[in-house]
Amino acid sequence: MSEDLSTMKSSYGIDFIKECQRNRFPLLFLDRITQLSPGTSADGLKCFTYNEWFFPAHFEDNPVVPGFVLLESMTQTFIMTFLSLSEYRGQETAFLTIREARFSRKVIPGDVLSTHAELERFRFGIAEGRVTGHVGEDIACEVKLSVGIPSKLLGLQPKRRTPEGNTP
């Protein structure tokens, strides 16, 4: 069901997101990609309802979206900037660094988190960039990320040599 990105659409649904990345329920925190420029940027949406699995425990009397969920939602938008490229589609990813994470507004049931991710650098299977999350006009959170594609990173490791000078 691979979508042809040469005919750009203004919105990509959950099927396309699942084709590009490996996150699945209950850890898929992205409902829609609203704008996509593969290799450059992505905009995403996550609509939080009280039925989310984490709300009863965080906190029952004053529910708030946990910080790790906000970070993961922003990261999932970010990885769409490079996993939407056909040669990387469906690849496994791994955090390398999370820097300058800031949370400036509580996100609660009924809020829609709108995320904007910019891919600043992508070389040797390492993606670096920044993501901002808004609720309405308010900045709710922002972060700088480095995410790797493990299969690409393994290919960069030098070959080990035995004492005899051979590669195993």
Q: Specify whether the CB–CB gap between 74 and 143 falls below 8 A.
A: yes
Residue 8 neighbours by CB under 8 Å, 6+ apart: 36
The residue from 34, 35, 41, 58 that is catalytic is 58
Beta strands in the chain (DSSP E): 32-37, 41-47, 94-103, 112-123, 126-135, 138-148
Q: What are phi and psi of 52, to 5 degrees?
A: -60, 145
Does 134 participate in catalysis according to the annotation? no
Residues with a catalytic annotation lie at 58
